[in-house]
Structure 1
Amino acid sequence: MTTDSPRWFKSSYSSNGGNCVEVAANVPGIVPVRDSKDPHGPALAFPAASWRSFVAEVKGNSFDAA
């Protein structure tokens, strides 16, 4: 990733007792994502443009929630 430590955060909508994903927005060019229950475990890293597209689709209700 980078020599700077990722600054992890959860959504302000997160209220399910910690069963969340966390993202770090301070890593240039990528968005790391991890399980909040396992903060020392592995993280997935997505290209920033792909993450922005994913978030836009989620916000636009483009996914079937069934």
Structure 2
Amino acid sequence: MTTEPLNWIKSSYSGGNGGSCVEWAPEYAAATGEVLVRDSKVPNGPLLTLTVDAWAGLVAVAKSHS
């Protein structure tokens, strides 16, 4: 993984009410093919590393339950 600061994007489904907030690093994904995901409330916490296909599946499941 990179030691450079990453540009994190908050999910549009997270909302602004302090609920579940998921962020991902799209530029890292484009450069490496790995999608990094984190909890925005714990930015120094663990990262989930997904393949692009796994990320697409996770997004599809989230959209189907919204």
Computed over aligned residues only, the root mean square deviation of the Cα atoms, in angstroms, reads: 2.3
Contact 1:22–1:35 under 8 Å retained in 2: yes
Of residues 23-32 and 4-13 in structure 1, the stretch that sits farther from structure 2 once superposed is 4-13
How many residues were matched structurally? 62
Deviation at 1:51, TM superposition (A): 0.4
1:41 aligns with 45
Q: Say if 1:55 and 1:6 are closer, same or farther in 2 by CA, change over 3 A.
A: same
* TM-score, length of structure 2 as denominator length: 0.68
Percent of aligned positions with the same letter in both sequences?
48
Greater share of helix: 2
Gaps of 5+ in 1: none
Residue ranges of structure 2 left out of the alignment (5+ in a row)? none
Whole-angstrom CA distance in 1 between matches of 2:5 and 2:51: 18
Deviation of residue 5 (structure 1)?
2.8
